[in-house]
Each structure stands twice: as structure tokens, then as C-alpha cells.
């Protein structure tokens, strides 16, 4: 049993419930604050942007939340996803560690993101919403939501960070194929976009700016459009727990249980997706398990940011969230892992990190691409640049296990394939990529501008 190479589940083993970690957290996350009044917000403040069911999930303290049958039906197109034992990688590393990975790149959009895009589109459809707006960085989230909206008959408007819009035309075309309208952000369709363009007509855009535009479009639509976010929020993280829940069943089949769970972190959703169902055992039974979120060294909110209230977008339209942040005006280097270039981390992951229940690691991009190429040459799957951060950490842990002669079991989330990211690999092969050590001034450029409440220890 224990030397299975590929561990697959039956369709009827797709989870029937999502796991809501809020129910098990001793220190509950602090409430989001209204951007104007700085008072805790209520459901009515979020109602212009989100359907009521998602707002309920956002604050729910129920441990398990039923996955609607219609959502599971769509999940069946690619779920359950496979889990593999990385035997070839283990051999090359000559490590006593057992390495397993869950592969989310088999989804239609090629990443974990459809796990939340589908329920979000579904709940909007159920509540009579016909149009959604969203932002996308490199295009992973935009294409996931375009796919989901197509399934439930919803029109989608995507604000895509300009530099990616210009450099990554294929993700845009994928969104177009699934029927979405895609705009290069900053646009002149919003006040936020116009004011950025006035300051800098050549602005390359950023995720924070694109969020401002998508939120503004929904908020000023008089209720005709709602907004959808692909990470960070509690309900998004919860939807992703199907990854970890499936992997627990797969680990059982392999007669194993992880000592270490690893995933890259942009906003926190794929890390939460794989790690929260394991943290359930740590929180309720005191099980000893290390969960490590890996961020790029050029956008190190978890390892070098501050835990304080900050906006989710650049303009300051979203509620203030208590999170590890580099400041909402922080502009990271143009590293190739577009999905990890976000200034803050989700409230839930931030609270867990603050409480010492999860760990964080920051890795430079050259080590990540090297790990990605090693992975492609051993396990054959070409990882997304974001995913290579997880792989680099796995290699570090496997090498440590070798030094210590420890038979660790490591599980990581291979959150997407890199087939649309070959230009990044090209730059790596051409020697064009460099590591960038953030200076003190760069690190504080965004933090110094924050005027929002600091969170006392
Ligand atoms: C979006 C994305 C990420 C980072 O986002 P999280 O919210 O942290 O999950 C990582 N990998 C891939 C492939 C992505 O598309």
C-alpha cells in the first residue's frame, strides 16, 4: 500500500462539506473595519458587493458548511484531483523524506482557483446576479472565474493588470474564449483608474489598482453588478479546503500522514486549502504538524511585513483588514510569479501566523526557478512560477531531513501548471532573472504611508 505512486479517489469521494477553520480558532480574527468610519462593518456594508450567502460564510462559526450539489457537479469535471508520491524527486535529492504532492493543475483553468470561482458564481446566480466584476494579475483568477461564470450564465468584466495584459496575451484570450470582457488596468472607466493615469499615464498597473477598479465598478452599478475576489477572504479560503480534505483521504490510502505541509502564498487561498484541514487536527487534538507558507523574497509580507489594519486595494475602497502587510501602496519588483505579488495576506492566515500555528518562509526567484526545472525533470509536470516557491521549500526540507537522517513525510500543493508562463522560464534560461534584495527604504515605502490603526500585542 505505502509505495503507491499515484493516489486517486472516486468521484463520490469529492468532499460534501467545506471546512471552516474559524470554528476551531481560539483567537478569533479581529473584525474588518469600515474604510470611512473605522468601525466594525456589518453584513449590510458588504451587501452591495457580495451575495448574502457568501457574506454569511465570511463570518460563519460553523465548523462544516455543505457544498451545494450543483457545485459538486461542476467540481466533477476535474475533481478529485490526483495526489502523487514524488519518487523521482526523492531519488535525485537522495533524501529519506517521503514527498507527496496534490496536483491542482488539472482544473480547466490550470490552477486551484476554480475551486472557489465555481461556488462564487453559483451563489451569485442563485441570488439573481447576472454580472460580476473582478481583477486579475497574471490571469489565473480571471480565467478561473470566466470559466465558472460561463457555467452559470453570468457576464464577467475583468480588470487585468496592464503589464500582464501586454505580456501575457494568452490568458486574456482564454478569458475571452469563455466569454469575459477583459480591460487593461488602469482604465479610464473608473475614477480610481483615471486618477492613477493622471499621475502616471504609463502606469504598469498593479493588483491593488485593479481591485480598486473592479470594486468601484460593482459599488457604483446601483446593484446591477457584484464583485468577486479570488483569494484573501475567509469564504474563498474555505472553498479551497476541498484540496486538503481530499488529500487526507489520499494520505490514508497511502498509509501516511504529513509532518510538514507546504504551499506558496499570494493571498493565502491555496495554502489554506491544503493546510487548514490538517490544522484542524493541530487545533483540536494538538497534533504535531508544521504548515509552511512560502512567499517571494521580493514581496515578503509574512516575514517582513507588519501585522496591522490595511486596505485590500490601492485606492482604499475595501474594508480595513487585520493582516500582515507591506502597505497597500507597496509595489513589488516585477518578479515572474505574478500571483504572489500582493501586498497583504489573508486575515485567517495572518492570525494563525501571529499565534505561532503556521510558519512562513521567503525565497528568491532564482532558487525557485531552479527548483521548478528540477521538478519538471524528475516529476515531469511543469510547475507555475508561483508553485515553484513551494517546491523550493520542499527541497530545503528534504535536504534538512537528509542531514538529520529523519524520515519526514512532506506534502505540498502543486497549485498550478506553468504552460502559460513559458516566457518566465525563457527569461530564466536566458539568464535574465536576478534576485533582488529589498532595501530598508523599499521595504518601508508602503508601511510608512499607513495611517491605519496598529494592532497592539
Ligand atoms: C493565484 C495563484 C497563487 C497565489 O494565490 P493564493 O491566494 O495564495 O492561493 C499561487 N499559485 C497559482 C498557480 C495561482 O494561480
- 153 burial type by CB count under 10 A (0-12 exposed, 13-18 middle, 19+ buried): exposed
Q: Ligand 1: which residue has its CA nearest to atom 2?
A: 339
Write down the pLDDT at residue 452.
81
- CA-265 nearest atom, ligand 1: 8
Q: Which ligand 1 atom is nearest residue 266's CA?
A: 8
Check if the beta carbon of residue 310 is closer than 8 Å to that of residue 328: yes
How far apart, in whole angstroms, are the C-alpha atoms of residue 325 and residue 127?
A: 33
Q: Which residue from 264, 272, 332, 390 has its CB within 8 A of the most atoms of ligand 1, so it is best to mutate? A: 264
Say if residues 224 and 133 touch (Cβ distance below 8 Å). Answer: no
Give the predicted TM-score (pTM) of the model.
0.97
Q: Looking at residue 457, what is its pLDDT? A: 59
Ligand 1 atom at minimal distance to the Cα of residue 230: 7
In the reported structure, the alpha carbon of residue 199 is separated from the centroid of ligand 1 by a whole-number distance in angstroms of: 30
- Torsion angle of alpha carbons 454, 338, 131, 320, nearest 10°? 0
Instruction: Give the phi and the psi of residue 53 in degrees, each rounded to 5.
Output: -60, -40
pLDDT at 2: 57
**CA-to-CA separations, 56 to 69, 234, 284, 291, 338, in angstroms, rounded:** 19, 10, 24, 27, 30
Cα distances from 397 to residues 118, 277, 334, 374, 403, in angstroms, run: 34, 21, 27, 15, 10
**Strands, sheet with 6-7, edge to edge from the N-terminal-most edge strand:** 6-7, 83-85, 98-103, 409-414, 260-264, 290-296, 359-363
β-bridge pairing 409-414 and 98-103: parallel
Is 260's C-beta closer than 6 angstroms to any atom of ligand 1? no
Matching CATH topology for 6-14+77-110+240-434 and 49-66+113-234? yes
Pocket test for ligand 1, best of 340, 346, 349, 352 (most atoms within 8 A of CB): 340
Of the candidates 164, 122, 166, 167, the residue with the CA atom closest to the CA atom of residue 142: 164
Q: What pLDDT shows up at residue 3? A: 76
Quote the strand ranges of 71-143, DSSP E. 83-85, 98-103, 131-136
Cα four-point dihedral sign 406, 411, 417, 423: negative
Best of 103, 109, 113 for a ligand 1 pocket test (most atoms within 8 Å of beta carbon): 113
CA–CA distance, 141 with 109 (Å, rounded to integer): 8
Architecture per CATH, 6-14+77-110+240-434: 3-Layer(aba) Sandwich (3.40)
Structural domain spans, the chain: 6-14+77-110+240-434, 49-66+113-234
Cβ of 299 less than 6 Å from ligand 1: no
CB 375 within 8 A of CB 391: yes
49-66+113-234: CATH class = alpha beta
Q: What is the mean pLDDT of each run of 10 residues along the chain (457 residues)?
A: 84 98 96 93 93 97 98 98 98 98 98 98 97 95 98 98 90 97 97 95 90 95 93 97 98 97 97 98 97 96 96 90 94 79 94 98 97 98 98 98 97 97 95 91 90 75
Q: What pLDDT sits at residue 168?
A: 83
Amino acid at each position: 500500500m505505502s509505495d503507491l505512486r499515484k493516489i486517486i479517489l472516486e468521484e463520490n469521494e469529492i468532499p460534501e462539506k467545506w471546512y471552516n477553520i474559524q470554528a476551531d480558532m481560539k483567537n478569533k480574527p479581529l473584525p474588518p473595519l469600515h474604510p470611512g468610519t473605522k468601525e466594525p462593518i456589518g453584513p449590510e456594508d458588504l451587501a452591495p458587493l457580495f451575495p448574502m450567502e457568501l457574506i454569511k460564510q465570511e463570518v460563519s462559526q460553523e465548523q462544516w458548511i455543505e457544498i451545494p450539489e450543483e457545485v459538486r457537479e461542476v467540481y466533477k469535471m476535474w475533481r478529485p484531483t490526483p495526489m502523487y508520491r514524488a519518487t523521482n524527486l526523492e531519488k535525485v535529492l537522495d533524501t529519506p523524506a517521503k514527498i507527496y504532492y496534490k496536483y491542482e493543475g488539472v482544473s480547466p483553468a490550470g490552477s486551484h482557483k476554480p475551486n472557489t470561482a465555481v461556488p462564487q458564481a453559483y451563489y451569485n446566480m442563485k441570488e439573481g446576479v447576472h454580472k460580476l466584476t473582478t481583477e486579475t494579475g497574471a490571469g489565473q483568477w480571471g480565467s478561473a472565474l470566466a470559466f465558472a461564470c460561463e457555467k452559470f450564465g453570468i457576464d464577467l468584466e475583468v480588470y487585468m493588470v496592464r503589464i500582464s495584459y501586454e505580456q501575457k496575451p494568452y490568458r486574456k484570450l482564454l478569458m475571452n474564449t469563455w466569454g469575459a470582457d477583459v480591460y487593461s488596468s488602469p482604465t479610464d472607466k473608473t475614477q480610481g483608474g483615471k486618477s492613477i493615469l493622471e499621475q502616471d499615464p504609463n502606469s504598469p498597473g498593479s493588483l491593488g489598482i485593479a481591485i480598486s477598479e473592479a470594486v468601484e465598478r460593482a459599488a457604483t452599478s446601483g446593484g446591477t453588478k457584484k464583485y468577486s475576489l479570488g483569494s484573501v477572504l475567509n469564504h474563498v479560503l474555505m472553498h479551497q479546503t476541498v484540496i486538503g480534505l481530499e488529500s487526507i483521504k489520499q494520505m490514508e490510502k497511502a498509509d501516511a500522514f504529513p509532518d510538514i505541509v507546504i504551499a506558496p502564498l499570494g493571498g493565502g487561498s491555496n495554502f489554506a486549502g491544503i493546510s487548514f484541514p490538517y490544522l484542524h487536527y493541530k487545533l483540536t487534538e494538538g497534533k504535531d504538524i508544521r504548515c509552511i507558507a512560502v512567499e517571494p523574497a521580493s514581496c515578503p509580507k509574512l516575514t517582513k511585513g507588519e501585522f496591522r489594519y490595511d486596505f485590500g486595494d490601492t485606492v482604499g475602497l475595501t474594508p480595513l483588514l487585520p493582516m500582515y502587510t507591506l502597505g497597500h501602496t507597496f509595489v513589488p519588483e516585477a518578479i515572474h510569479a505574478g500571483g504572489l505579488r500582493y501586498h497583504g495576506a489573508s486575515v485567517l492566515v495572518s492570525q494563525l501566523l501571529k499565534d505561532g500555528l503556521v510558519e512562513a518562509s521567503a525565497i528568491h526567484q532564482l532558487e525557485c526557478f531552479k527548483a521548478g526545472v528540477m521538478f519538471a525533470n524528475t516529476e515531469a509536470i511543469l510547475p507555475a512560477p508561483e508553485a515553484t516557491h513551494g517546491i523550493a521549500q520542499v527541497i530545503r526540507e528534504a535536504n534538512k531531513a537528509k542531514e538529520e537522517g529523519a524520515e519526514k513525510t512532506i506534502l505540498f500543493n502543486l497549485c498550478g501548471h506553468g504552460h502559460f508562463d513559458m516566457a518566465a522560464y525563457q527569461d530564466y534560461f536566458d539568464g535574465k532573472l536576478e534576485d533582488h534584495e529589498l532595501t530598508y527604504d523599499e521595504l518601508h515605502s508602503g508601511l510608512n504611508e499607513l495611517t491605519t490603526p496598529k494592532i497592539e500585542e
